[in-house]
Chain A
Amino acid sequence: MHLTSIMMATSLIIIFFLLAFPVLTSFSPHPLPSNWALTQVKTAVKWAFFISILPLCLFLNEGAETIITSWTWMNTHTFDVNISLKFDIYSIIFTPVALYVTWSILEFASWYMHADPNMNRFFKYLLIFLIAMIILVTANNMFQLFIGWEDVGIMSFLLIGWWYGRADANTAALQAVIYNRVGDIGLIFAMAWIATSLNSWEMQQMFTLSKDFDLTYPLIGLIVAATGKSAQFGLHPWLPSAMEGPTPVSALLHSSTMVVAGIFLLIRMSPMLENNQTALTICLCLGALTTLFTATCALTQNDIKKIVAFSTSSQLGLMMVTIGLNQPQLAFLHICTHAFFKAMLFLCSGSIIHSLNDEQDIRKMGGMHHLTPFTSSCLTIGSLALTGTPFLAGFFSKDAIIEALNTSYLNAWALFLTLLATSFTAIYSLRVIFFVSMGHPRFNPLSPINENNPTVINPIKRLAWGSIIAGLLITSNITPLKTPVMSMPLLLKTAALAVTIIGLLTALELASLTNKQYKPTPKLSPHHFSNMLGFFPMVIHRLTPKLNLALGQTIASQTIDQTWLEKIGPKATTTLNLPMITTTNNIQQGMIKTYLSLFFFTFGLALLLLLY
């Protein structure tokens, strides 16, 4: 084996070992020390990050990619499943990003969760969550990918339902798993199709063998899977509900694990996806719809975490649009930059929520810029990065996506929806800043405001650096796989920026309108639509369970099991046999007359037969 690939493989396996070590040692029966979370888990993630720099440098320097296949796990005739790890551009870049972000989140969580008696367990869950994501990212066959895929789902179930005494948390956790399972049907469908048609789950073999097939159906399966995991339109309501979990969970779930898994799956499968126009168009339209719909929902929310959550959903829609544009690498770039500023936005809102005595409503905030200058500055930086302000992290990916969209010959409606959503981004970002940082305080006077704690400041600071320079670093170091369009009309070049600025100006104007009254009552129905999340959860969350539970109770249980199957099975046997038994039984009741008459009757009959 070549020295470079040995170094890469070794360092990546060391990363796995480092991350798994605290989890494995935590199973020892001795109670964990109270600072285990910080000394073990955070340190493990930190060191894993530093080690992951090495393969990254090797990749940047030599373009080294490697695949390790070891140990045949299962084998049925010619079909075998191996343990096979893939370290290519995507996993090599994503792993350090995820580790860096998680390191910061864990440090923040040690402050956020310090009063929780089970903090060590919380950290263990977060760590397993991260490991599952890295398994998913480095998987080189569908089965391994499926392991990571399902495990992030289950870990999110545990983490969202962390405060298990609350009914809402349990509902949200269950909701996340059920929506993801709907998506999993798509993945299982695709896996079954691949197994039967291509006879291999190894990725490189799949890509080679799939050239001669019509891939539309399995790709639709994969898109459904990504819809579930990445909360695209139709299967999106679990993502805002997931806000029931603690803020560090939201930060991790939204930045570098779980929700980007769906997009990542499509990026992984892009060699199969790129030649199929139907699948690409579906991605494009689905993404555009998602990004606009969730941006609209974000406009009128009052819960700070919900706004940030919906903005994630909207950015995921944008990533899906990028997949639909057949630019998987750009989508990947957006995943990476998005991880930094989204994690930071959540940490900032977590810090503010804690400072205001667990108040999440932005209407009861205000003036935080004077009270928590660092946090609110970072909140602003994050929001600016999110809107794609030039030369912050979001700009390098988002602007490139919009440019690619503008210069493509694809669906103009999708383009329009995406641009609209981009301007909405500016609106809801401004709204958060306006309500949280600006103006006068609207909260209770005795709030425990204190951000001067290294475990708050440092993680946010690290992520702020990331949000500022990550985009530049990544774009200037990786080679684009597709030729970007470099020249275009000025209008198209500045479109992303222009719509953002228009959005910003509109929002400012609207904000000033709140102080003046022009109409007796404003028109409320658009507000209701946005505030009630398009009435989607109300319809779907009532109708589907109601139908299914009615099927279970009325049809399956009562009508079929307890009535019909009983009636035609055991009860029918009884009713058929009972008359005969009763007749025979009635005769034999010890009455000598009956017996004698029967005896003579048979005797006479036998006699008659004998005689003739």
Chain B
Amino acid sequence: MLKILLPTIMLVPTIWAVPAKYLWSTTLSYSLIISLISLTWLKSSAESGWSFLSPYMATDPLSTPLLALTCWLLPLMILASQNHTAPEPISRQRTYITLLTSLQIFLIMAFSATEVIMFYIMFEATLIPTLVIITRWGNQTERLNAGTYFLFYTLAGSLPLLVALLLLQNNTGTLSLLTLQYTPSMQLSSFADKLWWAGCLLAFLVKMPLYGAHLWLPKAHVEAPIAGSMVLAAVLLKLGGYGMMRMMIMLEPLTKELSYPFIIFALWGVIMTGSICLRQTDLKSLIAYSSVSHMGLVAAGILIQTSWGFTGALILMIAHGLTSSALFCLANTNYERTHSRTMILARGLQMVLPLMTAWWFIASLANLALPPLPNLMGELMIITSLFHWSWWTIALTGGGTLITAGYSLYMFLMTQRGPLPAHIISLDPTHSREHLLMALHLLPLILLISKPELIWGWTA
């Protein structure tokens, strides 16, 4: 565990000590080495589920893919931010990379924590660097508003969680994830118990985000700089899903009925946010809303509490993490060239950036869950588990897949196809850096097809 965490922490002094000339290359290669080492977690031979145990941290099949994703994303964020921070003074560039690194430190500790309170603290701690990234490094004044939304939505959800956790600690005497599932289940009957149930999940549902509590997400995505959008879509939202899966074990008898409205909300959200995507003119907002739609499916899969649902949710989280991050990067390549997120201003790009079109196409296909990409495996498993619960869900999930295909291809056609408008004929050519960035996003996704049990979670 510390093999990854200590090098990540030591990345901070490295950032400040390294000569300016080598800043980006050093941090990139350093973080890439960390992420390559983190892949060893995927090869676990432990029978009990938990491996790499230390007093406070461990990995299990649920957290390992998310940890590997977290570590994988830091080099990608560094790669993506290089161009747009280039005009800044060097110390600010160092600060920026430090922020990104601190986010990785917190996230590793959050995903590998064996104690719920530690997870909670790290869950909250990730807010700080993210908030700074959004409000300090965003491009427009609306970023301040976005930061406020982001902070207050998340805090309003997570403070009840603290109370709920303290109550749990009081009742069971432990909050260790290693033993928590073996503690006798609590007698939950009163109205207050139901509130406790809601308190345990609300923080994560807001983080996911559940439809209804999702307003912060499009704002944050639109205003954040590219690295912020990437990490937000790829990993931070997954904290919600991960936390929910961990908490679900303890909430056993109550969840069966209480989760109904949330499942309905999540599925309804798939349709509604998908429909919003169909009308988006803002590229980043479209991708953000599509995240809400996909995470709605994840939330429903988790709340349904079957092994198929959990597995599907984990697969979809990983696949969506890579896909949406790739889409944000693609949107950013457009943004860096046209300085606008408006789709109508940057269309017909296949003419000028033909190889980028290939990346756009693969990313759009991943977003609409083309078989056999892991996105489809996840969606199909969630749809099946929901279908097992109630037949009517197929109307919402099936409609969702239809709308997803609609807006994904709308996005692709709008940006890439059609004639090239005259005002953008003199664009910068694509850099190898950008192609590398896209390849590093999409290759893992494609390679996961051949060995999906890496992200299969508990049931692999």
Contact = CB atoms under 8 A, between A and B. Distances in A.
Interface of A: 73-77, 143, 146-147, 149-151, 154, 157, 161, 164-165, 167, 170, 173-174, 177-178, 181-182, 184-185, 188-189, 191-193, 195-196, 548-549, 551-553, 555-557, 560-561, 565-566, 569-570, 573
A184 B370 contact: no
Contact of B417 (A77, A161, A193, A566): A161
Interface in B164-214: 212-213
Chain A contact residues: helix, strand, loop or mixed: helix
Given A174-B409, A569-B215, A193 B387 contact: yes
B456 A74 contact: yes
Given A75-B460, A76-B308, A170-B413, A143 B401 contact: no
B358 to A, nearest CB: 10
B311 A143 contact: no
B419 interface: yes
A177 B413 CA distance: 12
6 contacts: A185-B402, A188-B401, A556-B276, A557-B276, A569-B153, A569-B213
A552 B276 contact: yes
B46 to A, nearest CB: 19
B324 interface: no
A77 B215 contact: no
A546 to B, nearest CB: 12
A514 B370 CA distance: 51
B405 interface: yes
Given A77-B307, A189-B387, A570-B149, A178 B371 contact: no
A51 B405 CA distance: 38
A324 to B, nearest CB: 25
B418 A170 contact: yes
Nearest to A553: B279
Contacts of A149: 371
Contacts of B275: 548-549, 551-552, 555-557
A196 B308 CA distance: 10
Contacts of B452: 73-74
B19 interface: no
Contact of A181 (B371, B397, B402, B453): B402
A521 to B, nearest CB: 42
B226 to A, nearest CB: 24
A182 B402 contact: yes
A569 B275 CA distance: 22
Contacts of B149: 570
B381 interface: yes
Interface string B135-162: 0000000000000010011000000000
B406 interface: yes
Interface string B366-407: 000011100011001101100110000010011101110110
Contacts of A147: 371-372
Contacts of B409: 157, 174, 177
B266 to A, nearest CB: 15
Contacts of A161: 413, 417
Contacts of B273: 556
A188 B276 contact: no
Contacts of B213: 569
Contacts of A195: 384
A591 to B, nearest CB: 31
B16 interface: no
B120 interface: no
Given A74-B377, A77-B307, A154-B365, A549 B399 contact: no
